[in-house]
Amino acid sequence: MRQNAASAASVAVGLPEDQRARLAVFCYRKAHLRSLGFAIAASCSRRALVEEAGHAGELLFQQSRNRPANAGSEPYLAARAQRRPVTLCSIKG
């Protein structure tokens, strides 16, 4: 996912800054796209992110610049991968 986020962020650099900020905020609000949101937000100014999302934009700006290198994996998503899928089928023997 980290490589995909970097390549998507490089494509987003071609967008105008207000659209990049809007896309960064959208991705940040979706759990499975959060790392992409951080990558795109890193290319936005504080002003653009704050205009788009207010206080949340300020937080996104700070977090996108202070992320450690190993922050690519989200622990809550990893926990979901270990669960057995829910099924409506029952086996009677």
For the chain, domain boundaries: 2-81
Alpha helices in the chain (DSSP H): 2-12, 17-29, 34-41, 46-53, 55-65, 75-81
Give the model's pLDDT for residue 80.
Answer: 60
Rounded to an integer, what distance in angstroms lies between the CA atom of residue 64 and that of residue 20? 14
Give the model's pLDDT for residue 86.
Answer: 75
Rounded to an integer, what distance in angstroms lies between the CA atom of residue 37 and that of residue 43? 10
Give the model's pLDDT for residue 19.
Answer: 95
- Which residues have CB under 8 Å from 50's CB, separation 6+? 57, 58, 61
Give the model's pLDDT for residue 38.
Answer: 93
Give the model's pLDDT for residue 27.
Answer: 94
Sequence-ordered strand ranges (E) for the chain: none
SS3 for 66?
A: coil
Mean pLDDT in consecutive groups of 10 residues from the start of the chain, 93 residues: 70 91 95 92 95 95 82 57 73 67
